[in-house]
Amino acid sequence: MKEPKVHVGILFEPQIEFILLNPYRINGMEISGKQVVTYNEGRILWNGRLYDELLFEPVNEATDAFELLDVTIGINFHWERKEDQRFLGSLKIIVENKKLTGINVINVEDYLTSVISSEMSATASLELLKAHAVISRSWLLAIDNSIDNSLRHDSAAPNNAANCQLSTVNCQLKWYERDAHTRFDVCADDHCQRYQGITRASTEIVKQAIAATRGQVLTSDGKICDARFSKCCGGAFEEFQYCWEDTPHPYLRKQRDFRIFNPKTCDLSFEATRPGGGLPDLTDEQEAETWIRTSPPAFCNTTNKRILSQVLNNYDQETTDFYRWKMEYTQEELSALILKRSGIDYGQIIDLVPIARGTSGRLWKLKIVGTKRTLTIGKELEIRRTLSTSHLYSSAFIVGKEDVSPEGIPGRFILTGAGWGHGVGLCQIGAAVMGEEGYKYDAILLHYYIGASIEKLYD
């Protein structure tokens, strides 16, 4: 098959300003320089005329670039900010939700070169970069309409912010899927894959990793794997169904993020021969508490700044505690936060009660008990969003209460937690450690995607 193109949603604003750094073609003419497009009663205003859609195509696809001004990155995260970003490929402008959407149309391999550089430092080891190239390509092509149906991931998942209302009014489950985008394939932020064009220069080692794995994807049972990944699993892999729809994937199942074999001798470790790779039953509340309160060995249990800098960009390094962490709230802070984030007035918060945990100890059901209202919420991202001004590092936490009044109202809540992100699939920090310890990219991939295969889709 031929290398596909991908449509990436970059910018969503009433007005978009950009600079065509080289000649671009549109409507049979060549233009360059600064341009301004504005939303105008359901259409696009550009150069005094109205359009339904605009497509600016490079004269030389390999080298021509454009720059988008004031792109928001880290949407809803603690490091959210704006920056100017530069891209290869075409720029498409459409109307969507009473705003304009700026879309970059680019070849998959060029897209991946940027994703690898945006998701982690270009100084990462070659094997880590190769592993990330394969999972990023897999994740993308699993939802790309141009891929043969026999290899596509069959996604029947609900759209973004899909609700799963249970039979009781006291329980509400919600999860957030990647297939919320209907006018483009993926967005450029952490909701999908972090993509910042050629804003950050790619090194030769990134290009080498992309070239060495060109066209390679992970597959399972004849389908491209839904290759999820997160920053730090916290020592244990989460399973897909506890974060998204109730459809387990055989390659995304529980395991400890621990040595599975010696990369030189290929000897299995004792831990790998035990069910779940020696992982305790973290769906059990007592086991989960013991796990979270301790710091068991794991690939991702590292404070090595040199290794962490391979995975974490400058703004990610603003987060220093991720394998194990603490978050404290006063009663006033927590009750106000939950009201603001959920829109539900619970009154004063009496308790946060764990109801159900996944295989990594991450909560996917949490009961919020208030003086005015009690409600069980989930899944994991909804819990993290409700309990933080942006996103709580993970939902693998236990709850401590202090300064409890005679009426049973805590004055302070202490959340002690593990990991950063949902914990499903590849653990970026763990994979970085594996790369440093001599594991090859295929061994890294098959550690995190259990029983999967690596196949080549195109040359």
Mean pLDDT of the chain: 86
- Label residue 406 by pLDDT band (50, 70, 90): very high
Alpha carbon distance 255, 275 (integer Å)? 8
Alpha carbon distance 409, 373 (integer Å)? 14
Neighbours of 178 (CB within 10 A): 21
Alpha carbon distance 304, 184 (integer Å)? 39
Residue 322 φ then ψ, to 5°: -140, -35
pLDDT score at 313: 58
- Domain map (residue ranges) of the chain: 5-143+181-212
Alpha carbon distance 369, 6 (integer Å)? 45
Strands (E), 284-407: 324-330, 349-357, 363-370, 374-378, 397-402
Neighbours of 380 (CB within 10 A): 29
pLDDT at 130 over 50: yes
Cβ burial, residue 344 (10 Å; 0-12/13-18/19+): middle
For the stretch 342-366, pLDDT in tens is: 999 999 999 999 999 999 999 999 9
pLDDT at 190 over 90: no
Alpha carbon distance 98, 91 (integer Å)? 19
Mean pLDDT of 124-129: 92
pLDDT at 385 over 70: yes
Respond yes or no on whether the N-terminal peptide bond of residue 254 is cis (omega within 30° of 0): no
**Residues 103 and 81 sit within 8 Å (Cβ to Cβ):** no
- Label residue 163 by pLDDT band (50, 70, 90): very low
Alpha carbon distance 350, 356 (integer Å)? 19
- Label residue 76 by pLDDT band (50, 70, 90): low
Which residues have C-beta within 8 Å of that of residue 423, sequence separation ≥ 6? 230, 232, 233, 234, 236, 237, 238, 360, 362, 394, 396
Element (H, E) at 8: strand 5-13
If one compares 451 and 80, the residue with the highest pLDDT of the two is 451
pLDDT at 160 over 90: no
Mean pLDDT of 362-383: 97
Q: Tell me the three state secondary structure of residue 428.
A: helix
pLDDT at 306 over 60: yes
- For residue 245 the two structure tokens come to 């729809």
pLDDT at 185 over 70: yes
pLDDT at 159 over 50: no
Neighbours of 321 (CB within 10 A): 12
For the stretch 221-255, pLDDT in tens is: 999 999 999 999 999 999 999 999 999 999 999 99
Which residues have C-beta within 8 Å of that of residue 131, sequence separation ≥ 6? 426, 431, 435, 441, 444, 445
Alpha-carbon torsion (126, 130, 135, 137), positive or negative: positive
pTM for the model stands at 0.82
**What is the percent of the chain where pLDDT is above 90?**
68
Mean pLDDT of 71-80: 68
Mean pLDDT of 208-218: 96
